[in-house]
C-alpha cells in the first residue's frame, strides 16, 4: 500500500462531491477551448477565402467611389491601361494575377446589364515584358507560392491557389453572369448583339451571389472599342498574397501609381480581424473568470474536505505522518482534479466546437491537440492555487485539539 | 525509559489560563504497565499525549531513553510517534474508508519500509489480535471491540517499544474491555512492551503494575 491508495480510496468515497467540484473547472476549460478552436479555424478560413476571391486589391482612379468593393469599377472614371505594365514590371513581391477591367452599364434589348472588359490570362502571359519580369509560368513570384511556408501558415494548400483568371477569350466571345443569362434568356453557344456587334456566349458562369452575376464579360480591347475609350481601363484587380499585404504591399503599389486609389477588401479583413480579436479577448476574460471561479470552487471543496477529514488527519498525524505527507495527500488530489478537469474540459469544448461550429459559423472545426496540454496545465494550476490555503490548514491541524473536540 | 521533570502544561483560553499539568515529575521504567487514573480534566490525557509527543509542554522536560523528545525538530517528533510509540485511542481511531488491514498498514506508509513484508506483517498482527478473516472489512463492518483490536494491531505495526492507550476500553462493555486489557497485558508480559494506559475504570487500572492518579494536574 502507498499513500496514493489513500488518495484514490478517498476520492472514490466522495465521488459525488468530486463531480460537482469538477463541473466548474470542466465547463470553464470547455468554454475557452471551444472559443479558441472556432477562432483559430475562423482565422485560417478567412485567409483562404480572401485568396480564393481571386483578387483582393483594387487599383481605381482617384475619383472613384469605393463604398462597395465589388461594384467600385462600375461607371468609374478611367486611367491608362499602361498602368498594368508599370505594376507588372515593378517586380513587387506578392503581386499576382493582374486583371485590368473596363466596366460600364448598358442595356441589351432593354435589359440593364453590366459590360465588363477583361484581358484573358493567355494575352497577359504572351507579353514579353511580363515574362521577363517573371510574373508568369514557372517564374510565378515566390511570395505567392502555395508551398511557401508563410502561405501554408495561412492555411493554403497546394490546390487552394485557384484564380478566377480567364485563360482565353476571343474578340467575339462573351462570358455571361448567371443572372444576366437568365434575364437575357441566353445559354452557351447562343449569339447576341451588343452595340451592334455580334458575340457568341462562350460560357455561362456559375452563380456567385455577387454583382458579378449581372455582368457580361468580353475581351477588354473589344469593350474599349465598343465604348469608344481605347487604351483606358476603370480598374486593375490584383491578387496580392496575404503575407505580402501584411508586409506593406499597398504602400509600395501607391508609390508606383501615385495618382490612383488602391484599396483592399479592408472592411472584410478588418471586420474578421476585429471578430477574432474580440473572441481572443473574450476567451482571455473567460480565462481570468475561470481561474478565479475555478480556484475558489476548488478551494471551497478542498476546505470542506479538510474539515470533513479532521479526525482522519488527526489519526495520521498521531501515528507519525509528517506535514509533507499531509501536503502530499491533498496536493496529489488537487492535481488529479485539475488533470481530469483539463481533459474533460478539452473534450467537451472540442466536441461543442465541432458540433456548433458548422451550424453557427459555417466552419468545420478540427481538434487542436496542443490545447489539451494547455487545458491540463491551466486546470492543474487552478486546482493547485485553490488548494494552497486548505492544504496548509490541514497540515497545521493539532490532533490533540481534535481529540478534545470529540 | 521515560523521565518526566517538572512538567507543566497551561492552556490559554478566552476564559483565562487552564493549568492541565502542574509540575509533574515521574519515571517510567522499561517494560512496565502504567495505568493513569483521575477525574475528567485532571490532566491524565494531557500527560499521555505529552509522552506521545503530541502536546508540547509549557514547562519541564520529557526524556525518552535519555533524550528530550521536544528538543528535536517536528520531523523527528513525527518519526518518534511513528517508530517508538504506538497509539490506541478511545475514539477516532480508524480511517473509515480503509479496510482493517489497510488501517494496520497506515503507520508503515510515512517512512521507508520494506513493502514486501508490509502486508504480511499486518496479517500477522491482525491474527494476533484475533481478527483473521476480517482483513478486508471496513471499520463500519466491524464491532466496536473489533475496531479497537484493529487499532491495537495498527499501534504495533512498526514494532514500537511503548503502547500509549487513551481510554482504550471507554466505549466497550465489560466483557470486551477485558478482552482488550488482556491483549495489552500480553503485549506487556510476553513482548516486554511498555504500556501506558489512561482510564476512568478502576477495574482496568488494576492491570497496571505502576498506578498513577492525577488530580488538578498533579500526581497524588
Evaluate whether A326 touches A316 at the Cβ level (below 8 Å): yes
Of residues B149, B150, B144, the one with CA closest to residue B99: B150
Residue A265's pLDDT is 64
The C-alpha of A386 sits at a distance from chain B's nearest C-alpha, in angstroms, of 25
Give yes or no for residue A64 having a pLDDT over 90: no
Q: Cβ contact (<8 Å) for A13 and B97?
A: yes
Q: Give the model confidence (pLDDT) of A161-178 as tens digits.
A: 333 456 678 889 999 988
Question: Coil, strand, or helix at residue A92?
Answer: coil
Q: Which of A1, A13, A323 sits opposite B118 (nearest CB)?
A: A1
Give yes or no for residue A186 having a pLDDT over 60: yes
Interface residue A365 vs chain B (CB under 8 A)? no
For A11, name the nearest residue in chain B, comparing CA atoms only: B97
Q: How confident is the model at residue A143 (pLDDT cuts 50, 70, 90)?
A: very low
For B86, name the nearest residue in chain A, comparing CA atoms only: A319
Give yes or no for residue A21 having a pLDDT over 90: no
For residue B55, which residues of chain A lie inside 8 Å, CB to CB? 400
Residue A131's pLDDT is 40
In residues, how long is chain A? 406
Of residues B28, B34, B31, the one with CA closest to residue B207: B34
Q: Give the model confidence (pLDDT) of B184-214 as tens digits.
A: 999 999 989 999 999 988 889 999 999 999 9
Residue A156's pLDDT is 36
More confident residue, A70 or A386: A386
ipTM: 0.91
Q: What is the mean pLDDT of residues A354-383?
A: 86
Residue B141's pLDDT is 93
Give yes or no for residue A114 having a pLDDT over 80: yes
More confident residue, A247 or A256: A256
Residue A375's pLDDT is 93
Residue A115's pLDDT is 93
Contacts of B171 (CB under 8 A, 6+ apart): B90, B91, B144, B148
List beta partners, residue A60: A261
Evaluate whether A171 touches A221 at the Cβ level (below 8 Å): yes
The C-alpha of A349 sits at a distance from chain B's nearest C-alpha, in angstroms, of 35
Residue A142's pLDDT is 37
Q: What is the mean pLDDT of residues A251-267?
A: 80
Distance in angstroms (rounded) separating the CA atoms of residues A198 and B177: 120
Q: Cβ contact (<8 Å) for B82 and A319?
A: yes
Q: Which of A311, A312, A319 sits opposite B87 (nearest CB)?
A: A319
Contacts of A103 (CB under 8 A, 6+ apart): A73, A74, A75, A76, A114, A115, A116, A117, A215, A234, A235
For residue A9, which residues of chain B lie inside 8 Å, CB to CB? 97-98, 102
Q: Locate cell 475557452: which residue? A: A32
Evaluate whether A88 touches A133 at the Cβ level (below 8 Å): yes
Give yes or no for residue A136 having a pLDDT over 60: no
The C-alpha of B211 sits at a distance from chain A's nearest C-alpha, in angstroms, of 23
The C-alpha of A18 sits at a distance from chain B's nearest C-alpha, in angstroms, of 16
Interface residue A85 vs chain B (CB under 8 A)? no
Evaluate whether A118 touches A99 at the Cβ level (below 8 Å): yes
Distance in angstroms (rounded) separating the CA atoms of residues A300 and A21: 9
Q: Which of B92, B108, B158 sits opposite A403 (nearest CB)?
A: B92
Q: What is the mean pLDDT of residues A308-324?
A: 90
For residue B107, which residues of chain A lie inside 8 Å, CB to CB? 319-320
Average pLDDT over chain A reads 79
For B11, name the nearest residue in chain A, comparing CA atoms only: A401
For residue A11, which residues of chain B lie inside 8 Å, CB to CB? none
Evaluate whether A51 touches A161 at the Cβ level (below 8 Å): yes
Interface residue A406 vs chain B (CB under 8 A)? yes
3-state DSSP helix/strand/coil % of chain B, to nearest 5: 35, 30, 35
Tell me which of A314, A319, A406 to substitute to probe the interface with B (most B C-beta atoms closer than 10 Å). A319
For B99, name the nearest residue in chain A, comparing CA atoms only: A9
Distance in angstroms (rounded) separating the CA atoms of residues A88 and A125: 11
Q: What is the mean pLDDT of residues B133-137?
A: 92
Residue A207's pLDDT is 76
Q: How confident is the model at residue A316 (pLDDT cuts 50, 70, 90)?
A: very high
Q: How confident is the model at residue A68 (pLDDT cuts 50, 70, 90)?
A: low
Distance in angstroms (rounded) separating the CA atoms of residues A323 and A307: 17
Distance in angstroms (rounded) separating the CA atoms of residues A72 and A94: 23
Q: Give the model confidence (pLDDT) of B15-69 as tens digits.
A: 888 888 999 999 999 999 999 999 888 889 899 999 999 999 999 999 999 899 9
For A311, name the nearest residue in chain B, comparing CA atoms only: B92
Tell me which of B87, B106, B122, B140 to substitute to probe the interface with A (most A C-beta atoms closer than 10 Å). B106
Q: Cβ contact (<8 Å) for B97 and A10?
A: yes
State percent of chain A over pLDDT 70. 77
Residue A406's pLDDT is 53
For residue A13, which residues of chain B lie inside 8 Å, CB to CB? 97
For B118, name the nearest residue in chain A, comparing CA atoms only: A1
Q: How confident is the model at residue A160 (pLDDT cuts 50, 70, 90)?
A: very low
Average pLDDT over chain B reads 89
Q: How confident is the model at residue A129 (pLDDT cuts 50, 70, 90)?
A: very low
Q: Where are the alpha helices (DSSP H) in A53-136?
A: 82-88, 121-126, 128-132
Q: Where are the alpha helices (DSSP H) in A206-265?
A: 220-227, 242-246, 249-256
**Least confident range of A276-280, A326-330, B140-144:** A276-280
Residue A271's pLDDT is 61
Give yes or no for residue A141 having a pLDDT over 70: no
Q: Cβ contact (<8 Å) for B78 and A321?
A: yes
For residue B81, which residues of chain A lie inside 8 Å, CB to CB? 318-320
Q: Give the model confidence (pLDDT) of A381-402 as tens digits.
A: 999 999 999 999 999 888 888 8
More confident residue, A145 or A264: A264
Q: Cβ contact (<8 Å) for A400 and B49?
A: yes
Radius of gyration in angstroms for the set of CA atoms belonging to chain A, rounded to a whole number? 33
Residue A266's pLDDT is 59
Distance in angstroms (rounded) separating the CA atoms of residues A217 and A73: 13
Question: Coil, strand, or helix at residue B20?
Answer: strand
Distance in angstroms (rounded) separating the CA atoms of residues B218 and B220: 6
Of residues A45, A62, A70, A51, the one with CA closest to residue A267: A70
Distance in angstroms (rounded) separating the CA atoms of residues A224 and A232: 7
For residue A3, which residues of chain B lie inside 8 Å, CB to CB? 109
Question: Coil, strand, or helix at residue A107?
Answer: strand
Phi/psi region, residue A127 (left: phi>0; alpha: psi -120 to 50; beta: rest), is beta
Q: What is the mean pLDDT of residues A346-369?
A: 85
Q: Locate cell 515521574: which residue? A: B26
Q: Which of residues 8-27 of A touch B (CB under 8 A)?
A: 9-10, 12-13
Enter the C-alpha cell of residue A199: 458575340
Residue A405's pLDDT is 63
Q: Give the model confidence (pLDDT) of B74-124 as tens digits.
A: 889 999 999 999 998 877 589 999 999 999 999 988 877 665 688 888 999
Interface residue A281 vs chain B (CB under 8 A)? no
Interface residue A401 vs chain B (CB under 8 A)? no
Give yes or no for residue A221 having a pLDDT over 80: yes
For residue A311, which residues of chain B lie inside 8 Å, CB to CB? 92
**Least confident range of A4-8, A57-61, A187-191:** A57-61
Interface residue A315 vs chain B (CB under 8 A)? yes
Amino acid at each position: 500500500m502507498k499513500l496514493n491508495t489513500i488518495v484514490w480510496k478517498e476520492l472514490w468515497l466522495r465521488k459525488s462531491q468530486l463531480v460537482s467540484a469538477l463541473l466548474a473547472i470542466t465547463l470553464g476549460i470547455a468554454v475557452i477551448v471551444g472559443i479558441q478552436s472556432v477562432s483559430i479555424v475562423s482565422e485560417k478560413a478567412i485567409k483562404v477565402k480572401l485568396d480564393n476571391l481571386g483578387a483582393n486589391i483594387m487599383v481605381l482612379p482617384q475619383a472613384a467611389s469605393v463604398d462597395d468593393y465589388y461594384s467600385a469599377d462600375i461607371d468609374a472614371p478611367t486611367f491608362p491601361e499602361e498602368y498594368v505594365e508599370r505594376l507588372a514590371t515593378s517586380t513587387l513581391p506578392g503581386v499576382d494575377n493582374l486583371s485590368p477591367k473596363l466596366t460600364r452599364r448598358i442595356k441589351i434589348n432593354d435589359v440593364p446589364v453590366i459590360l465588363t472588359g477583361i484581358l484573358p490570362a493567355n494575352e497577359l502571359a504572351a507579353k514579353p515584358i511580363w515574362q521577363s519580369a517573371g510574373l508568369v509560368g514557372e517564374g510565378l513570384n515566390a511570395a505567392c507560392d502555395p508551398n511557401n511556408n508563410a502561405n501554408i501558415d495561412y492555411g493554403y494548400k497546394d490546390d487552394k491557389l485557384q484564380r478566377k483568371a480567364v485563360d482565353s477569350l476571343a474578340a467575339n466571345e462573351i462570358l455571361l453572369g448567371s443572372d444576366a443569362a437568365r434575364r437575357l434568356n441566353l445559354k452557351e453557344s447562343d449569339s447576341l448583339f451588343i452595340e451592334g456587334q455580334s458575340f457568341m456566349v462562350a460560357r455561362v458562369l456559375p452563380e456567385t451571389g455577387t454583382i458579378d452575376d449581372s455582368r457580361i464579360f468580353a475581351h477588354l480591347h473589344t469593350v474599349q472599342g465598343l465604348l469608344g475609350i481605347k487604351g483606358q481601363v476603370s480598374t486593375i484587380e490584383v491578387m496580392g498574397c496575404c503575407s505580402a499585404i501584411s508586409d506593406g504591399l499597398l504602400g509600395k503599389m501607391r508609390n508606383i501609381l501615385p495618382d490612383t486609389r488602391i484599396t483592399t477588401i479592408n472592411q472584410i479583413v478588418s471586420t474578421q480581424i476585429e471578430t477574432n480579436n474580440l473572441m481572443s479577448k473574450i476567451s482571455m476574460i473567460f480565462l481570468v473568470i475561470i481561474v478565479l471561479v475555478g480556484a475558489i470552487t476548488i478551494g471551497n471543496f478542498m476546505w470542506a474536505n479538510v474539515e470533513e477529514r479532521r479526525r482522519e488527519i488527526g489519526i495520521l498525524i498521531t501515528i507519525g505522518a509528517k506535514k509533507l505527507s499531509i501536503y502530499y495527500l491533498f496536493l496529489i488530489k488537487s492535481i488529479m482534479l485539475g488533470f481530469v478537469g483539463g481533459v474533460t474540459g478539452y473534450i467537451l469544448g472540442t466536441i461543442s466546437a465541432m458540433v456548433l461550429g458548422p451550424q453557427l459559423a459555417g466552419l468545420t472545426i478540427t481538434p487542436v491537440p496542443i490545447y489539451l496540454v494547455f487545458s491540463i496545465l491551466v486546470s492543474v494550476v487552478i486546482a493547485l492555487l485553490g488548494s494552497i490555503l486548505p492544504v496548509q490548514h490541514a497540515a497545521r491541524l493539532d490532533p490533540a485539539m481534535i481529540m478534545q473536540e470529540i | 525509559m521515560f523521565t518526566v521533570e517538572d512538567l507543566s502544561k497551561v492552556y490559554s483560553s478566552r476564559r483565562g489560563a487552564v493549568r492541565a499539568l502542574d509540575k509533574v515529575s515521574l519515571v517510567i521504567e522499561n517494560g512496565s504497565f502504567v495505568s493513569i487514573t483521575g477525574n475528567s480534566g485532571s490532566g491524565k490525557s494531557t500527560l499521555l499525549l505529552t509522552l506521545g509527543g503530541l502536546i508540547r509542554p509549557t514547562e519541564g522536560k520529557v526524556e525518552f531513553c535519555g533524550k528530550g523528545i521536544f528538543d528535536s525538530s517536528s520531523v523527528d517528533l513525527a518519526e518518534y510517534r511513528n517508530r517508538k510509540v504506538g497509539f490506541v485511542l478511545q475514539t477516532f481511531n480508524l480511517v473509515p474508508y480503509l479496510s482493517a488491514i489497510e488501517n494496520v498498514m497506515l503507520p508503515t506508509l510515512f517512512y521507508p519500509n520494506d513493502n514486501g513484508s508490509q502486508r504480511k506483517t499486518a496479517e500477522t498482527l491482525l491474527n494476533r489480535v484475533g481478527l483473521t478473516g476480517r482483513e478486508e472489512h471496513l471499520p463500519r463492518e466491524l464491532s466496536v471491540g473489533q475496531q479497537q483490536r484493529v487499532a491495537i494491531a495498527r499501534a504495533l505495526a512498526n514494532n514500537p517499544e511503548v503502547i500509549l492507550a487513551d481510554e482504550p476500553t471507554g466505549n466497550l462493555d465489560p466483557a470486551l474491555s477485558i478482552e482488550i486489557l488482556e491483549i495489552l497485558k500480553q503485549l506487556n508480559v510476553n513482548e516486554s512492551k511498555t504500556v501506558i494506559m489512561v482510564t476512568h475504570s478502576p477495574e482496568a487500572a488494576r492491570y497496571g503494575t505502576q498506578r498513577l492518579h492525577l488530580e488538578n494536574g498533579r500526581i497524588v
